[in-house]
Structure 1
Amino acid sequence: MRVGLIGRTHWLRDAGVIARQRGHDLVFLVTAPSANASQAGSQDLEVFAHEHGIPFHNTLRISELDLDADICISVNWTTVLRTPLLTRFPYGVLNAHAGDLPRYRGNATLNWAILNGETEACLTVHRMVEELDAGPIALQRRRPIGPDDDMTVLSRWLDEVLPTALVDAVDGIADGTLVFREQDPSIRPLRAYPRKPEDSRIDWRSPAEAIVRLVRASAPPFGGAITTGEDGREHRILRARVHRPDHDYLAVPGQVCFAIDGHPVIAAGEGMVEILECDAPDSKRVILSSLRNRLV
């Protein structure tokens, strides 16, 4: 099939690589300014396009381009694609969405899934319509979210499954084996809205379980969960776990209580949190410099 690529990130590039390997023709690549957490920015996509002789466009004015393809695949485009563009291609535009449709729609869906205590991650490939994440589903890929799984683990999983799933859907359309299914209207959508780095600031008055979920949801490729010492120094926590002490205690949330093998243990609003890894090598030492220290 003649496949167009629309969007950003290394996932779009990798889907293009797989599509070529499976015998599809890439007829254009349209991108826009790079996503902050992407492993492949607009310049990387331009290099990929030129290396393979693919017409390349770097513009947000996609509706003004003269584009022709049998089908398009889209990852992380910056704006809503409107119906005139979506219906321009005979087989439409496929999107890879890191959420369990029809429930999880919108942005940062895997981060929100961790924060919400979900036990399963889902990648959905669907045919785009103008309404956000509402199009018919082509296929889904799932994996459990374990109690210690964080965004580092789930991002690696997306690296493995997302590009392949997009091309699997293209293959199924090409050979006539793929059957789309409409989203179940009886399932009430859960709209996930974008998150900013500051949303990862820890409120030590929260329960320990909620704080650890925040750390997991903020792990690389994101910047970590944020806390600040009394000296004003900011620390980024990359890994943590709930600590269940063998004694009762009285402590103010944020209190540095003790250490386990050099890992600070901090009182939360309910329970304790053991800090396992920070972004700076000396952060744990600074936090543990005095048991009078408080994190805010």
Structure 2
Amino acid sequence: MRIVFMGSAGLAVPALRAVMRNGADEVVGVVSQPDRPAGRKRVLTPCPLKAFAEGEGFEVMTPEKIGDPDSVAALAALKPDLFIVVAYGQYIPQRVIGLAPFEAINVHPSLLPKYRGSAPIQWAILNGDAETGVSIIYLAKKMDAGDILRQETYPLGSDETSATLHDKLSVLGAELLLKAIDDIRNGTVVRTAQDESLAVEIRKLSKDDGKIDWSRSAEAIRNRIRAFDPWPGSFCTLPNGEVLKIWKAELEEGAGNPGQLLDDRL
């Protein structure tokens, strides 16, 4: 099949690499986000997927809006059979999806319909879930609400952070994606509608979410520290006004007021 791959974040890199190396299909185009200012000097920097794709010799399309007439025309010229979308960051309208006979599929790092929206990896850890996973779905008008092609669970360890879980789910997603593509190619797809009564919509995280509320339980605080590694990070303010960043915490038996320092050696 002729595949157009759309992605931006690092989560998408293993998926594109897997499709490229699979040998059964041809990646005829890659679409990503425009370069954005990054760092203290605000230097224009490509996103991880674009940087990887250019390193592999692709000429990457970076439209500000994927649904603009020029973008749609450029995609139509590629004559795609299938769109693959992984952490792209733009809503893809039906006029784009309809260009491909096999439509568009998305790799989402959660067990949909749970955790629709951005940051599903963080929210699974934040809520202390025992498991999460990856879902391969068709794109639909409603974000993350399309029919499920394949889904696989992943057990969450007590020491898992968003950083470690991101890398594991990106690999799992790439493996599951290849199986879904085979299903499409072989005409063996089983489409399962999501149960709307079980849908969990999540909001985008902000830097302020990293501020520790010491009135929460110790377990809840530890989950937040794990969930917010590496971003937005967890922090609190010391009595002298300095900001203390906290990257790891362990649960121990003890008694004291919220936020009280129990060991004066620290």
Normalised by the shorter chain, which TM-score bucket?
A: 0.7 to 0.9
**Conserved 8 A contact 1:42-1:58:** no
Aligned residues: 251
Structure 1 length normalisation: TM-score? Answer: 0.77
Sequence identity, in percent? Answer: 29
| CA distance in 1: counterparts of 2:61 and 2:136, whole angstroms | 24
Corresponding residue to 1:102 among 113, 121, 124: 113
| CA distance in 2: counterparts of 1:115 and 1:48, whole angstroms | 30
| CA distance in 2: counterparts of 1:9 and 1:214, whole angstroms | 22
Q: 1:52 to 1:74 in 2, by over 3 A?
A: same
Q: 1:178 to 1:82 in 2, by over 3 A?
A: same
Task: Please list the CA deviations of residues 218-274 of structure 1 after superposition, one character each: whole Å capped at 9, or x if unmatched.
Answer: 123x242111211222122111122113xxx4x432111116xx7xxxxxxxxxxxx
**Conserved 8 A contact 2:209-2:232:** no
RMSD, aligned α-carbons: 2.2
**Conserved 8 A contact 2:5-2:83:** yes
Aligned-pair CA distance for 1:48: 4.3
Aligned-pair CA distance for 1:201: 0.8
Which residue pairs with 2:245 in the alignment?
236
Q: 1:252 to 1:34 in 2, by over 3 A?
A: farther
List gaps (5 residues or longer) in structure 2: 39-44
Q: Which moved more, 1:117-126 or 1:156-165?
A: 156-165
Which residue pairs with 1:58 in the alignment?
62
Which residue pairs with 1:256 in the alignment?
261
| CA distance in 1: counterparts of 2:5 and 2:191, whole angstroms | 21
Which residue pairs with 1:205 in the alignment?
215
Corresponding residue to 1:156 among 161, 164, 167: 167
Aligned-pair CA distance for 1:71: 0.3
Q: Residue 80 of structure 2: SS of its match in structure 1?
A: coil
Determine if the alignment matches structure 1 residue 119 to structure 2 residue 130.
Answer: yes
Q: What amino acid maps onto 1:16 in structure 2?
A: L
Which residue pairs with 2:181 in the alignment?
170
Structure 2 length normalisation: TM-score? Answer: 0.85
Q: What amino acid maps onto 2:248 in structure 1?
A: R
Q: Aligned runs of 1:63-102 on 2, under 5 Å?
A: 63=67, 64=69, 65=71, 66-67=74-75, 68-102=79-113
Determine if the alignment matches structure 1 residue 21 to structure 2 residue 21.
Answer: yes
Q: What amino acid maps onto 2:4 in structure 1?
A: G
Which residue pairs with 2:42 in the alignment?
none
Aligned-pair CA distance for 1:43: 6.0
**Conserved 8 A contact 2:33-2:62:** yes
Q: 1:132 to 1:44 in 2, by over 3 A?
A: closer
| CA distance in 1: counterparts of 2:160 and 2:47, whole angstroms | 32
Normalized per residue, the structure richer in strand is: 1
Q: Which moved more, 1:136-145 or 1:107-116?
A: 107-116
**Conserved 8 A contact 2:139-2:146:** yes
**Conserved 8 A contact 2:11-2:170:** yes
Aligned-pair CA distance for 1:164: 2.4
| CA distance in 1: counterparts of 2:53 and 2:120, whole angstroms | 29
Aligned-pair CA distance for 1:53: 4.8
Task: Please list the CA deviations of residues 108-156 of structure 1 after superposition, one character each: whole Å capped at 9, or x if unmatched.
Answer: 1121122222111121110101101111101112111122322133112
**Conserved 8 A contact 2:11-2:166:** no
- Report the structure number with the largest CA radius of gyration: 1
Which residue pairs with 2:4 in the alignment?
4
**Conserved 8 A contact 1:11-1:163:** no
